[in-house]
Structure 1
């Protein structure tokens, strides 16, 4: 086994401590990646809280990272030592189901192997995430990091970025499309950047009036405060696509009423149960959709688009030794708009 250092939560705990970690030896199609930067995602918080409740084994979070190839297996053809790479929250899939065959490994019918907390498809061991200095991954699930992309600001593209990119592309967002983004956080600020870069007329819907300046800096053409009843009423049937990135349970009705005839509300931020009034869909033939993560072709296309159009995340960069501080502040929503850990303080 290979050894590295990372940040691990022990059984029954949410706090992370520095620990020695084991990685598998390189298989023929593996690459070893020195992790340089890793994003801190809300799902990391959820995973740590669930882990503490179960008290089953250790947990190493982290599933959106960039780094440098340090070693390759004997059958690797796409990468060499020294290459800059990016890896997201999926590190394997069955490769044979209908979803995998169409490049939607994120919807693998046998469930994809997640970057942490998943089961390795060959030996059954539990995957340990990227709050660490090294990761070993199949070359197929790593992406070349295009030149010109800042590796720290690119790390959140591998989860938050592709999560909003796939539905925007699937829904045909482009010039002439009217898009609204509800919620201006880790997902939402990237949805705004993508929609603007794709040529859409872009509006931000936010409950925080103080974010209006940020919304315009990101390129939004308009801002609607969700508490402004007059503005929200005037926005009825206005948008072809509403991207809902609000991370807590909420009523979808106000957003559905803003969707235009034959338009779509893409519900991305909250994964729990929702209740929908059928008439909110019926009046205007409106659609409700969702999405999660991204397949390999879409992720590669997103990275190239970001390099071409200068799209990256707004980040606060912290040394990895401050990971618990980052998680605590994320719980309090004290970040604009993504924490990224600099892993260079690990041996």
Structure 2
């Protein structure tokens, strides 16, 4: 198969779909890999790194799309990239369609087969291709939260860990999944006062066993969320409904109860965000203020630590890329129902129910219907 790797063009996105070692693995399986020039420069892999292991370097994204059968990316295709997709293409990347109707409609119009990392499942019913970026975003959320709590950043001037004789800052984490656990690990490492909120009692019990006395857990009822928002200095939104839009847990009205200069970090922004006042931001302009509360809603948080993120992502996505290349997308998904769960769009139709259910005027059409 001819596999293409375009340079990422989203704002401050330095990751790359395939590292040289991943390219080498695909070449060893007998496939041709075409990489856009400078695609890996953001993580210090120049064109020669790719040439040495058998890749062909092309001058433009258009050349890559024109040559390749499968396109491997990191972030969702931007409008100019969607315009280059054709029915013979298989797109393998993050999509997050539930928060992006224009992208959904563009991919439908393209006719391409679009497999989303974030809805591929595992035999344990986890999301293995989302996990590494959730780990990164969860850990980063505490770093950026602490940064924007600093007074010169407009924050309240609170040190999350406190000091002897001064109470630590309060951190509320909504969602006890991968991102939430990693946020809690970093926050407890700073000696913050941490509470995780979730609606699954079994999950709360697991978190209690995992963290012991270093955190508190609470069922995420509306009154509990309201109290958490009012009392906390840093609120981290880490909820996830696979493929679907994130629920709005924090309303605009709740902001009036928060301490001025407190910080909201919305890890769920790729899926529309879990705060009513959330809107996607970029690394160029990462924060904004609503009612005196700082909002950090960068939609590609892991892009800030591009090298770590790229290696972590490739560890998870490469086996699927090899499957698709070796067998073709249809046969690969027929043999592996967990990979098939990643299919979001093909033949102009939405193939993932949670995505279709987000939109009033887009139907869910299973494969074979």
TM-score w.r.t. the length of structure 2 is 0.42
More helix by share: 2
Higher-Rg member (1/2): 2
